[in-house]
Amino acid sequence: MLVVMKNDATPDEIERACSAIRALGLVPHPIPGDTRTAIGVTGNRGAIDATALAGLPAVLELIPVTKPYKLTSREMKSADTVVRIGSVEIGGPEVIVIAGPCSVEGAEQTLAAAHAVKRAGARMLRGGAFKPRTSPYAFQGLGGAALDILARARAETGLPVVSEAVDTDRFDDVAAAVDVVQIGARNMQNYSLLRHAGRARRPVLLKRWMSGTLEEFLMAAEYLLSEGNRDVILCERGIRAFSDYSRYTLDLSIVPELKRITHLPVIVDPSHAAGRRDLVLPLARAAVAAGADGLLIEVHPEPDRALSDGPQSLSPAMFAELMDELRVLAPAVRREIATAA
């Protein structure tokens, strides 16, 4: 249910409505808007007896929310959510490009990638400190040392940093060191990690699992929002299908559908979907045309020597070419791309 308050409702009247919701054994989620505040209600297992709420003087109307995902639904919040990380706004007019190496392999490699993507126009830096790998023998990341390197890259370039937390044990260390915490595809349904991330009050980039349905994806995001975190970014990164020429199948059809039914910003990771660098550029163009709010691109100064995901990583020159192409494309779909530094 959504409790819509009158546009002149005072903070005390909003809190009175929240108290009435709690008295029913439910959980209130105030959602401030441009002209009025609404209060999302969760925790019910059936119909809500709203008599006590309807009688409050500052309540304008009560709106049932029919979707199983409540807080992520446009029924609960019609306006787009814009996630702000410093001067970067994900979900606004600009298509935000987040770029950098799959893994932090060392200071020289990471700093070279950071400066290269900054020059080309990237607005944020990605880099893995902890890497969940299919093989236990593959490079697992440098851990805490990588977080220090990412902090240095941020200081030198001014780019906010995105990095993945793979479990609750090290989540707080990652959250303290970066600007956005990534929950990887393998952890989309790691509910203890999702709840922990929801309570952390740090922006979260949530990737879709390779076999996750649209509803399962949004229910995973619901865990984050239900714990109080409103700064959630959804990321499509490819699903497992019958493709025998790419790593995964990039499900671009989910982008406009997500934009229709949820208020959360949606970005696309063509690098992990393709598994091949020659496919990244055309898939990135297609993602922007489909309405994506941003892109997550792997860039390595020497892709052929990368310790993880080298075949899908762009060289700095290829990334600069991609950014040039996106600057031509973006205005056609009424979006913007940052200019080169």
Q: Is 300 helix (H, G, I), strand (E, B) or coil?
A: coil
Q: Work out the pLDDT band at 155, boundaries 50, 70, 90.
A: very high
Among all chains, which residue has been given the structure tokens 């808007």?
33
**Residue 70 counted as domain residue:** no
Statement to judge: residues 23 and 156 lie in one domain? no
pLDDT confidence of residue 81:
96
Q: Which two tokens stand for residue 228?
A: 């109080």
Residues 167 and 88 in one domain: yes
- The lowest-confidence range among 39-53, 109-123, 303-317 is 39-53
- Do residues 210 and 88 share a domain? yes
**Averaged over 273-298, what is the pLDDT?**
97
One domain, residues 221 and 291: yes
- Scanning the structure block, which residue is given the tokens 């489909």? 290
Pair (28, 174) in one structural domain: no
- Tell me, yes or no, whether 76 lies in a domain: no
Residue 22 sits in a domain whose CATH number is 3.30.70.1140
Same-domain pairing of 10 and 110: no
Mean pLDDT of the chain: 93
User: Is there a single domain that holds both residue 36 and residue 147?
Assistant: no
Range(s) of the domain holding residue 325:
83-333
Q: What average pLDDT does range 284-296 have in this prediction?
A: 98
Q: Which residue has the higher pLDDT, 34 or 196?
A: 196
Of the candidates 340, 336, 299, 304, the one whose C-alpha atom is nearest the C-alpha of residue 318 is 299
Verify that 185 and 234 share a domain, yes or no.
Answer: yes
Check residues 17 and 297 and name the one with the higher pLDDT: 297
- Residue range 185-196, pLDDT digits in tens: 999 999 999 999
pLDDT (0 to 100) of residue 118: 97
For the segment 305-331, the average pLDDT, to the nearest whole number, is 96
Same-domain check for residues 22 and 154: no
Pairing of strands 161-164, 37-42: unpaired
Give the angle 233-42-167 at the CA atoms, nearest 5°.
Answer: 45
CB 187 within 8 A of CB 223: no
Total count of domains within the chain: 2
Structural domain includes residue 47: yes
Domain contains 240: yes
Tell me: pLDDT of 259 over 90: yes
Domain membership flag for residue 341: no
CB count in 10 Å sphere of residue 306 = 20
- Residue 283 covered by a domain: yes
Distance, in Å, from the CA atom of 250 to the CA atom of 241, rounded to the nearest integer, reads 10
35 assigned to some structural domain: yes
158-159-164 Cα angle (round to 5): 140
Which range (75-84, 95-104, 277-286) has the least confidence?
75-84
Q: Residues 56, 134: one domain?
A: no
Collapse the DSSP code of 275 into the 3-class scheme (helix H, G, I; strand E, B; otherwise coil) and give the result: coil
Residue-wise pLDDT for 207-255, tens only, equals: 999 999 999 999 999 999 999 999 999 999 999 988 888 989 999 999 9
Lowest mean pLDDT of 57-61, 266-270, 286-290, 324-328, name the range: 57-61
The Cα 185–Cα 274 span in angstroms is: 15
Query: Are 56 and 87 found together in one domain?
Result: no
CATH number for position 329? 3.20.20.70
CA–CA distance, 173 with 167 (Å, rounded to integer): 11
Lowest mean pLDDT among 70-79, 200-209, 231-240: 70-79
φ, ψ for residue 318, nearest 5 deg: -65, -40
59 and 104 co-located in one domain: no
Q: Is residue 68 part of a domain?
A: no
Q: 268 near 252, Cβ under 8 Å? A: yes
Task: Give the separation between CA 329 and CA 341, rounded to whole angstroms.
Answer: 19
Q: What is the pTM of this model?
A: 0.90
Pair 151, 179: CB distance under 8 Å: no
